[in-house]
Each structure stands twice: as C-alpha cells, then as structure tokens.
Amino acid sequence: MALASESFDTIVIGSGFGGVMAAYPLVMAGERVLMLERGDWVERGPHNWEINSAHELSDHYCPDTAYAVDDARRKRQGGSFHCVGGPSVFYGGVALRLREQDFDPGPAIVTDSGAEWPFGYDELAPFYDWAETLLGVAGDDRDDPTAPARDAPYPQAPARFTPPAQRVADAARRLGLKPFPLPLAINYAPSDDRAACTLCCTCDGFACAIGAKNDLATGLIPMLQAAGMALRANTVAVQLSVEHGRVSGVQCVDRRSGASTTLRAGRVVLAAGTLATPHLLLASGLDRSSPAASAIGRYLTRHNNLLTLGVFARPTNPGRDFHKQVAIHDFYFGAPGVDPSIGKLGCIQQITAPGPDFVRRILPAPIGHIAAIGVPHVLALLSIAEDQPVASNFVSIDQANRDELGPPTLRIRHRYTRRDVAAGRALVQQSRRILREAGALFSMMHDLRSFSHAVGTVRMGQDEATSPLDDRGRFRGLDNLYVADGSALPTSGGVNPSLTIAANALRIGTLLTGRAAPRAMGRQQLPVLERSAHAP
C-alpha cells in the first residue's frame, strides 16, 4: 500500500452516502481526500439483472461481516452489502426528505431516550436541495399531503405510472387518499454519457446493468476521483489510534493480500454505516474518550418495515414493468381509529414483490416452488413505520470472538417496542384496504427483518452526556474525528433514510471547509463537479 507515505487532509472511511457526500465539499474545496472502502467495484453488465447477482445472492453481500443478530424471533448471523458506493448500488433509489415535524419528533417517539435533533428542517433544507441535485432525483411532491417546504423543484420529472402502479394509485384515490410519485434517484433522460431507465423490474436489490440508477458508484465517485480524490477499494479500517486527543492513525487491512498498514491524515470522517461505525469506535476503545460513552452503539433504530402482499386472481404485471412508483403519505401522522398516543406512523410505498426465481432460490424446496407460482399474482406495498430510539436496542462488541481480519465481532440486539409494532400494524391495515380496493382477493403480511434502514447508534445532539456527536458531526472527546453516516441521525422519521444521510453529510463536509451553506441559491447555482468519463 504505497498510500502510507502520501499525505492527506482527510481520510474518509466508507464510500456510501455519508462518506461520498461528506467528501464532496472537501474535494471541491481542493482538499486531498483519501476514501477507504471495504468492498470492491461492482462490475456492470447483463449479469447484474440475473437473480444470482441480486439481493443477498450477490457476491457483494458479505456474510463475512459476521453480525450476530438477536432480534426476538431468533438468533442469526447477518451480513451487509460491501462495495464501492455501498448499498446505494443495490438500493431502491427512493429519495425522500424527512418532514419538518420529524426534527421535533415528540414524546411518543422520544420517550426517555434523550434523542433530539440539534437543528431543525430549515438547516438541512439547502443540503436536501443539493443532495437531490447530485443524485438527479426525479419527483413531484405537489400531491404529497405532508411535503416539507422546498426552495427548488425536483431536478427531473418522474416517469409516468406503469399499469401496476396506476392500479394502486387509482385504488388509493377512490379511497379519498392522495397518492403521488415516489421520488427516485433514477435517470430518465438519455444523453451522450448516460443511459436512461428502461422501467424494467430489476431495480431494488439489483445493481443497474446500464447504470441508469443514480447510485454513488455510477456518478459521484468517478467524479470525485476525476477531481483528485484517492479511493482505495478492498481496504478495511480495523482500528483507529489516538494520541493527545486526536485520531493519529487508521490501521487498515487489504482484504485481498492481507497486508496491513497505518494511514494518517489531519482529520478522519467515519462513514462506515450505522453498524460498522460503532463497531470500529468500540473495537478501537474510543468510547473511553467520549463523555457520552454509554450512548455509543445504543438507540439503534431500523424502521418497522412490513410488506403487505395483495394476491389477485390474474397476474398483476404481465409486462414486467417497473412499478415501485407510488407513495402514500396520508397516514404519516396518524390513521383513523388508531390511538393518537402512538404518535407518528410513517409512509406506505409500492414495492416490487420478489420475483419467482428469487423466491424459488431462497425458500426451502416445496414451499419455494409453490410460492413462486403465486408471485406473479401479487402486488406489494411497503409500510415504513418510525420506531423509537430505545437504549435497550444496541450494538456491542464480542471480545471473545474475532472476525477474520482481527477485530472483535459485532453483536446486534434489537426488539421492537409495543408502540413500534402498533405503528407498523396500523400502516399494514391501511395497505390491506388499498390493495383490497385495487382488487386483491386477500392479503398477507411479511416482516422485513433487515437492518437496511438502520440509523442512530452514534447520534448527534446538544447534550454531551448523552450524544456522542455535536451538531457539526464531531465526535466529542476527539478533535479531528467526525461521523457522517446513518449512525449520526438521532431518530429515524418515517421515510427511507438515504437522502437525509446524504444531506447531513453534505452539511458536515461543508462545515469542515469553513464555506457558507449553499443557501437558497436555486438548483442552477448549486456547486457541482463536472461529470467525467473516468471508469474505475
């Protein structure tokens, strides 16, 4: 690793939303930035749309992170996506802002956790504009009954609803609801250097074979590299060393060769994700430097994500059209007949049901074959319910067990609270109603027990005794360590997390440069790097 002798202003650990967006203002300001990424580049080609390259069957889904998950149902091993661009390469592209009220979530969500946002929506709004511009989000929120204020319209118009999406939107409208297009970071405009989306059914859970999804590896990372950022893929940060109240070195291991080296920079931005960031902090003993030591790893939220599968008499999508297009926010702040003391609920979105091949592969033989026959008759809605940040949901390290690269393994302990379960069920009840109106014969609920929406393990806040990060994302107790990923968010809100992680990271990076926020400039004036033809 020749990089050990080079000098950098900032080392960014992780190439997901937090890392890339924090790096962006730093690179624009001319800083020498080195980004370390545990995973490799995802090669693009027709194979991306094959089932063996998707979801947890992909080579980039790594069980070798060895998360031991204890989540009430059973104890199991978890894994996660590790690749250049992080899970954005495989994500669904949904790019929603938190609502204004989410920055002051209220006692039903906060309870005694001490969670508090150190700033309000207005502080993040210009960075939401910027993140939407960089991610090329296509949306139109005029019918969203909960839409937060915005200075600029979306950069792109959404695609027209395909027939399966129109069917759900029509049913929702007949029930007096206000469905609107789900904002998506997908490219719909063909150009010389970008393919436009073909509205195929292989999006969420798949890397885009033609690069029409605006994931970080398709657009932003190559731009940052062309502007001078160094990226080291297949490199795992395993230890942060501290001297005189500062991080003095990042010990890394090259996953392929096993070679170990220590890299140094003026500051370190940690953005390894909501599980890996506290893992690295705890494995490095940095909780000992923090006035909020007991909060590190705690207050893990992950949304109560529930699928409602409506089963129809006829195949619902014979054209194999993309249809993750409809959002329904009418129940974000509550639903008729639901105890208001539950507080905010969250959102409902259409989602592509897993295809027959995938179902056949992941379920045991007889069940998989039977379920695969039924899958073409399904339309699915995803409920995303906000969950409470409670101290008893946490990650910790297991000193008795080490992973293959040396650090102690990570343990995750998570149980939904009664309120979280009730919030999820309330949204499922509404999803069932919508699917019934769309013609479903019956519906089934399936809970998604993943940590794909995890946030909150190293939260920001004003109180230094309970919040490891200050309002600028600085790790309290160390001068030059910042955290810019999902772990920094004090609460989850009721929408998908990536756009908020991106906006907050752009904010943290901008504050580090000492430059002014791009306040109310309008989209045309927002700072963007030139797109380059750089290929990894």
DSSP character for 293? G
Considering the rule CB under 6 A, would residue 114 count as an interface residue with ligand FAD?
Answer: no
From residue 142, give the alpha-carbon distance in Å to each of 148, 153, 317. 10, 10, 27
Element housing 198 (H / E): none
Closer to ligand FAD by CB, 137 or 210: give it.
Answer: 137
Residues in the chain: 536
Segment interacting with ligand FAD (CB under 6 A) among 172-180, 265-273, 365-373, 429-437: 265-273
Closer to ligand FAD by CB, 60 or 432: give it.
Answer: 60
Segment interacting with ligand FAD (CB under 6 A) among 113-121, 271-279, 292-300, 308-316: 271-279
CA angle 141, 142, 143 (to 5 degrees): 90
Helix axis angle, 163-174 to 418-437, nearest 10°: 100
C-beta of residue 25 within 8 angstroms of C-beta of residue 515: yes
Contacting residue, 240, 501, 503, 506, with ligand FAD by CB under 6 A: 501
Contacting residue, 26, 263, 276, 282, with ligand FAD by CB under 6 A: 276
User: What tokens appear for 514 in the block?
Assistant: 């000492």
> Judged by CB under 6 A, how many residues of this single chain contact ligand FAD?
39
In angstroms, give the least distance from the CB of 305 to ligand FAD: 10
x/- letters, 67..86, toward ligand FAD (CB under 6 A)? --------------xx---x
Closer to ligand FAD by CB, 51 or 342: give it.
Answer: 51
Contacting residue, 214, 393, 430, 496, with ligand FAD by CB under 6 A: 496
Segment interacting with ligand FAD (CB under 6 A) among 31-39, 217-225, 260-268, 419-427: 31-39
Query: How many whole angstroms separate alpha carbon 16 and alpha carbon 231?
Result: 12
Query: How many whole angstroms separate alpha carbon 53 and alpha carbon 206?
Result: 7
Closer to ligand FAD by CB, 187 or 342: give it.
Answer: 187
Binders of ligand FAD among 445-464, rule CB under 6 A? 452-453
* Residues contacting 305, CB < 8 A, separation 6+: 382, 383, 384, 385, 424, 447, 448, 450, 452, 453
Considering the rule CB under 6 A, would residue 473 count as an interface residue with ligand FAD?
Answer: no
User: What tokens appear for 455 in the block?
Assistant: 């946030």
Considering the rule CB under 6 A, would residue 16 count as an interface residue with ligand FAD?
Answer: yes
C-beta of residue 225 within 8 angstroms of C-beta of residue 37: no
Query: How many whole angstroms separate alpha carbon 178 and alpha carbon 188?
Result: 24
Contact residues: ligand FAD, CB under 6 A: 13-18, 36-39, 81-82, 86-88, 90-94, 204-205, 236-237, 271-274, 276, 280, 452-453, 485-486, 496-499, 501
